[in-house]
Structure 1
């Protein structure tokens, strides 16, 4: 058995650039994992994936030419089944041994080679054998087939290959792109594997236009990257090619001067890396008159349509220069630069035309048109949706400010969706909200309304900024709550990893605004307001309970990610705190309470009280008739609760949750004495109701900050 480095490459037509990195990583990881499973590669093997527009490859160190033979012990059957009373092999045993390839010509000898060992209550027969290790060619064939099968292909192509046989014909092949070459080298030896109708060799092809050699011959596995770079003019490594693009972008920006920098966009950088085999960055420019168009429009058209990198000045404003990552590097790049400048000009002209045309109509004049745009076939038009958002936004604004804020929120909510009817948003849906802000300024509506319209989709993703002003927060909350309540009302719930309407994102947006803005808003009340917009008499289902659970579950997940324990989070959120901004204080209080010596006993008692109240017949009121407190222990508990509750309630009302729970800790002794000396379910109905009322009062007092029973072991 010899050890050598392995190189496998699939040479194909241009792969989808957005998926290239994922395809390269998947091809390498699955192939190597299969080699490791077969014992051909080890955990110490170094794996280097390669992915360029026309190839997927992997280099693996320390790959064996043959896997080590393995000693295997296999359970056959119970002794009572495999051997007769005379100790001879039964037909069942002989048949099993034959199936395993054992020599049974001498049955007695075959039986003597078996081992006996306890197996549960009985004794069983075990067969020892040596499984020969797989040769690399066979193991690699299996690994290669598996790697190709498991590629996360966005869309499969079907193409035909001419069959390699005496009779002419064609065979159908399904793959992400037509494949034209296969390399499999173990050291300098070509391995006889096949894939996609191709036989492995030791040659590949380089850059379409700039390769020094039409066919790049690889002397061994380790020469792959160097040979491709020198003879094929290709940087095969996705990571190296990406880093080279970053380096050249920075160098080109420095050459322009003035502190300009290329726009940061990781997705665009990955896509461009998937488009070029050897990058060459060039500086281009467009006419300054286009800078009158909102820079978001120009940036988007350059990135999305042309894959260019716009240059921003030190203040973050767009300049009239941009960078192109070319796949060729001619001695005179003027033709390439001129071509790219000619291509981008019509795109920018279109954006300017849309912007100029859109400003000929006010946002207000577009409101009526929303009534003709279907939002959802079960939820009506965008116009109907706007009215629901307005109602929620006004209710929120009334709690956050005065009549001026309510009026501003109403205007912003009425106009927030109107930019959906503009030419610019029709061409670039990603600009909805942003363009509404620009058009609101043009209409003279002021910065407050413009910001609210622009920001009402925020936060759009994890880590996104929140709306800037109170009006924007009111509209953003209303928009997200309307979306959540509406889709829940027609039973469009997220399931598993499927969330087509991004409801989890909307819920997290609501949570972030309430928490990070410190808003004095009652989430339970907000859910109720949103639910009212979808009345049951119009065919909608009640959503309050399910929506409340959904939002608090999202909040729970976020809190656990911040380091709070599941027990702490469950205890606090079990009482559905209405103001999310004080949940962290509640969590801190619960953690402090759990550290008290009385905590465990009180939590257990609280759990016991909860179970008793659940089993009680009918509703239990938190009322106590002191005249019916006959037992000293119940009198003592009532007195202790009556003594400590006013201060505990006052501390709770002031948000001093830890201090409130600390005051209640003194109830441990009277609670223990109560359960030791008092029969709660007395035969006398009046006594029983009174004692349940005392426990109900205690339960309510102890569980205002959190459900303390969740702390019980």
Structure 2
């Protein structure tokens, strides 16, 4: 079947936009062709510095004839309804078909040649292309990322003729700007197109360009006994800068290696797009770099390497200036500057945020086995480097530079490491700190962010999360789980929340607190207030008023639910079911370590026949009890055994339930959740036999009440492990 080849050739396309543009081209062309009734065998797109290319194999030469039947109004419907239907279909009344008193219209649509559809498709795609930025040139109305020069469009080996703002489609492309022959290249199909471009120094596929860069870069470094420092992000970028990438090894002044290696690497990467190089025989970087040129120089790249070395030296001299000046300035001056930097209009300055983080880090320290003084000291230094010259130049180095400066200032290693790593983990691929002081500061930093923005009602909505609160919550969860931090979420959140609610922010949750305040004014002592006051005493904290505490509780409740959602995401990525997280969270437990252990044990239990069958029995018992609860109070209390004519299955289930309750309680006290599940498994056979042999809704009231009590006890015992009613299945 015929092939479509489309190339949009322009001036240079920024590397960061190329892959997104390729995806947009694929999506837009696919949508247009499918809407026209076309299908195909394979579609591929390619993006490079000067061209977007699309090739579709297996396109039919024409769309098929289509016949569509539309149901209209009834024959006795008002005349206006019929007129509307006729306008919609473009038919007359005598062209309609009547069946069973209803009008039907049959729309016959003749197929169209694909060569007629392609120009309309390309024109629509080009004019509506969603570049993040675009420009208009000359006197035309067309907009593109850079001036569009050519449009190559072949279908079944023939040019598809059309014109877009004076750019006439043809079968011509161009090779490399410098290395190529400088002549237009005529092509017949995609294989011919790709072969001739490569012969003219253009690698069409970004994967081929990446492989060429890696292979050649490793070769030039290995020739000098060195090794390339891998950087996937930089590789993606430079692969979009050169059509014929040629790595060249350059030298730099060894004196710059006295700078922190992160500074050297970032200067190379951000400003010059160079790869760093290391010496395998020694620790740290080598005084070299790899630059990816877009030419093959006749001198082997010596002149290019020398020129790039001079440019890099200028950049690194700037970095060394920032380093030297920052060492002279120090933390005290930077901390003072934070008083003049607003973190958020409703959450105060960065200096106020540092005070909150320091107080919270001190409180968290005993929970993670950290020294409280060191945790508070690290928290007070953690944000100071934001005011340094180096971080002003390289924001990516926040925290990292603070760690270097703290060590240079004579701070203990634990403090310096905490300053360096307190932003971690910043994403799913980032490592999780394990040093106690670092864990304390990292938790305090993320919790202050979460509590603060929840307190001012700046929660994530839909896909919008401008303050990266979902990432912060996942960071807290990973810190807690990976370090086995045994505490409740509320014990972490409430202290952070009460620090937010000072006298200047008392209006923050006025609306949310109205009901609780009214209850308190009437002398109603809410369970939440009692529990929170008890928790506060246990922690030795002093709360100014119950009102302050209640505001903190409102935020804590919202955040615990938010953490539950984030935990579902994390466990789902690990293969766990989200409904199991709901079933465990429903117990009111907010110890993340214990929750995950419960979920894992519950998942293993439900994967067995005993678990699956017991879940079915639970749902049956629960449905019976719910139906009875609608009629009135369900009987509770002791289940009687040894009654006249009592079925054996009823007696066995009563004894089994009592035994399971004891075993489950013992297992839960020691957090042996596998044993708790084993205890529940013993209920499977008695529950099955009960529902097989016993009629719950007996005509004898005493028998009915006793059996409802028994089902209630079964539900209660199982509910101590998880809320099985929330589990699907």
TM class by smaller structure: 0.7 to 0.9
Output aligned runs, 1:167-316, within 5 Å. Answer: 170-231=139-200, 233-258=201-226, 260-261=227-228, 263-314=229-280
Give the Å deviation of 1:496.
1.2
Give the Å deviation of 1:445.
1.2
Q: Is the 8 A contact 1:28 1:57 kept in 2?
A: no
Give the Å deviation of 1:364.
4.6
Give the Å deviation of 1:175.
2.0
TM-score (structure 1 length as normaliser):
0.83
SS of residue in 1 equivalent to 2:207: helix
Give the Å deviation of 1:49.
2.2
Q: 2:621 aligns with which of 602, 605, 611?
A: 605
2:647 equivalent to 1:651:
no
Q: 1:127 aligns with which of 97, 106, 121?
A: 106
Q: Is the 8 A contact 1:393 1:410 kept in 2?
A: yes
Residue aligning to 2:292: 325
Output aligned runs, 1:176-575, within 5 Å. Answer: 176-231=145-200, 233-258=201-226, 260-261=227-228, 263-314=229-280, 317-332=284-299, 333-364=301-332, 366-401=334-369, 405-535=371-501, 538=505, 539-541=507-509, 542-575=554-587
Q: Identify which range, 276-285 or 560-569, moves more after superposition.
A: 560-569
Residue aligning to 1:586: 598
Relative to 1, partners in 2 of residues 1:38 and 1:300: Cα closer, same or farther, differing over 3 Å?
same
Q: How many residues align?
A: 663
- Give the Cα separation in 2 of the matches to 1:303 and 1:335: 21
Q: 1:49 aligns with which of 31, 42, 45?
A: 45
Q: 2:723 aligns with which of 696, 699, 707?
A: 707
- Give the Cα separation in 2 of the matches to 1:417 and 1:123: 74
SS of residue in 2 equivalent to 1:211: coil
Q: Is the 8 A contact 1:10 1:179 kept in 2?
A: yes
Residue aligning to 2:547: none
1:580-610, Cα deviation, whole Å (9 max, x unpaired): 2233431243245544344433344357668
Q: Is the 8 A contact 1:9 1:55 kept in 2?
A: yes
1:294-336, Cα deviation, whole Å (9 max, x unpaired): 0001101110111111112336622111101111222023221
Q: 1:156 aligns with which of 134, 139, 142?
A: 134
- Give the Cα separation in 1 of the matches to 2:85 and 2:395: 72
Q: 1:9 aligns with which of 7, 28, 45?
A: 7
Q: Is the 8 A contact 2:250 2:308 kept in 1?
A: yes
Relative to 1, partners in 2 of residues 1:149 and 1:512: Cα closer, same or farther, differing over 3 Å?
farther
Q: Is the 8 A contact 2:75 2:98 kept in 1?
A: no
1:268-310, Cα deviation, whole Å (9 max, x unpaired): 2121121112111111111010000000011011101111111
Give the Å deviation of 1:186.
2.5
Q: Identify which range, 131-140 or 371-380, moves more after superposition.
A: 131-140
1:528-561, Cα deviation, whole Å (9 max, x unpaired): 2222222275233341111111111110122223
- Give the Cα separation in 1 of the matches to 2:472 and 2:398: 17
Residue aligning to 1:31: 29
Q: Is the 8 A contact 1:556 1:573 kept in 2?
A: no
Residue aligning to 2:515: none
| Unpaired stretches in structure 1, ≥5 consecutive residues | 85-89, 161-169
Relative to 1, partners in 2 of residues 1:94 and 1:650: Cα closer, same or farther, differing over 3 Å?
closer
Q: Is the 8 A contact 2:44 2:55 kept in 1?
A: yes
- Give the Cα separation in 2 of the matches to 1:531 and 1:615: 44
Q: Is the 8 A contact 1:79 1:125 kept in 2?
A: no
Q: Is the 8 A contact 1:466 1:513 kept in 2?
A: yes
Residue aligning to 1:166: none
Give the Å deviation of 1:636.
11
Residue aligning to 1:87: none
Relative to 1, partners in 2 of residues 1:614 and 1:91: Cα closer, same or farther, differing over 3 Å?
closer
Relative to 1, partners in 2 of residues 1:410 and 1:695: Cα closer, same or farther, differing over 3 Å?
farther
Q: Is the 8 A contact 2:354 2:379 kept in 1?
A: yes
SS of residue in 2 equivalent to 1:256: coil
- Give the Cα separation in 2 of the matches to 1:610 and 1:416: 55
Give the Å deviation of 1:637.
9.6
SS of residue in 2 equivalent to 1:183: strand
- Give the Cα separation in 2 of the matches to 1:98 and 1:515: 62
Relative to 1, partners in 2 of residues 1:98 and 1:467: Cα closer, same or farther, differing over 3 Å?
closer
Q: Is the 8 A contact 1:188 1:221 kept in 2?
A: no
- Give the Cα separation in 1 of the matches to 2:330 and 2:85: 91
SS of residue in 1 equivalent to 2:366: helix
Q: Is the 8 A contact 1:31 1:146 kept in 2?
A: no
- Give the Cα separation in 2 of the matches to 1:497 and 1:698: 42
Relative to 1, partners in 2 of residues 1:553 and 1:69: Cα closer, same or farther, differing over 3 Å?
closer
1:172-222, Cα deviation, whole Å (9 max, x unpaired): 322222212111123442211223441212223332222213333335554
Q: Is the 8 A contact 1:140 1:193 kept in 2?
A: no
Q: Is the 8 A contact 1:302 1:308 kept in 2?
A: yes
Q: 1:147 aligns with which of 125, 133, 142?
A: 125
Q: Identify which range, 333-342 or 281-290, moves more after superposition.
A: 333-342
- Give the Cα separation in 1 of the matches to 2:564 and 2:16: 35
- Give the Cα separation in 2 of the matches to 1:244 and 1:126: 60
| Unpaired stretches in structure 2, ≥5 consecutive residues | 510-553
SS of residue in 1 equivalent to 2:450: helix
SS of residue in 2 equivalent to 1:360: helix
SS of residue in 1 equivalent to 2:475: helix
> For the aligned residues, what is the CA RMSD?
3.9
2:39 equivalent to 1:70:
no
Q: Identify which range, 242-251 or 301-310, moves more after superposition.
A: 242-251
Q: Is the 8 A contact 1:603 1:712 kept in 2?
A: no
Give the Å deviation of 1:635.
12
- Give the Cα separation in 1 of the matches to 2:617 and 2:71: 55
Residue aligning to 1:164: none
Relative to 1, partners in 2 of residues 1:372 and 1:695: Cα closer, same or farther, differing over 3 Å?
farther
Give the Å deviation of 1:509.
0.7
Q: Is the 8 A contact 1:184 1:193 kept in 2?
A: no
1:147-181, Cα deviation, whole Å (9 max, x unpaired): 32554411122333xxxxxxxxx333222222121
SS of residue in 2 equivalent to 1:47: strand
Give the Å deviation of 1:439.
0.9
Q: Identify which range, 323-332 or 292-301, moves more after superposition.
A: 323-332
Give the Å deviation of 1:513.
1.3
Relative to 1, partners in 2 of residues 1:117 and 1:522: Cα closer, same or farther, differing over 3 Å?
same
Q: 1:58 aligns with which of 47, 51, 54?
A: 54
Give the Å deviation of 1:418.
1.0
Q: Is the 8 A contact 1:10 1:55 kept in 2?
A: yes
Relative to 1, partners in 2 of residues 1:123 and 1:207: Cα closer, same or farther, differing over 3 Å?
same
- Give the Cα separation in 2 of the matches to 1:91 and 1:124: 9
